[in-house]
Amino acid sequence: MFCFRASTKLRSDDTAGFFRLSELHYQLGEAEEALNEVRECLRLDPEHKECYPFYKKIKKVAKFVGKVMHYLYCAMRISLTRHYHDQRHRKSLRTSNSGRIASTMPRNC
């Protein structure tokens, strides 16, 4: 991949280099990087016969990956919040059993 990156830096009008670099990023699962490279290819040649269909494909993939990442972030955040509340609840049960009054809600809620 390094040689394609160097090629595009030496020849800024190298649409084939940008397209190949985009394909390599895609094969590595790097959808955003692939999207950036194929956009550069299209900027140089808006009617490139291989870049445009590939661009449409990568754009869908990148959007899907973004949604999945957002879902995973939200799921992890919910899981951590529940874990935090469970820990606070267990702690409050221990302290209330010893005769002290404890709150089960965090202070920042």
Architecture of the domain whose range is 2-97: Alpha Horseshoe (1.25)
Mean per-residue pLDDT, 104-108: 48
Write down the pLDDT at residue 27.
93
Per residue in 13-69, pLDDT (tens digit) is 788 889 999 999 999 999 899 999 999 999 999 988 999 999 999 999 989 988 888
* Cα dist from 43 to 40, 90, 101, 107, whole Å: 5, 59, 66, 52
Residue written as tokens 């490139």?
Answer: 48
Domain locations in the chain as residue ranges: 2-97
Contact criterion met (CB below 8 Å) for 28 and 21: no
- Say if residue 103's pLDDT is above 70: no
pLDDT computed for residue 11 by the predictor: 63
Comparison of pLDDT for 82 and 98, the residue scoring more: 82
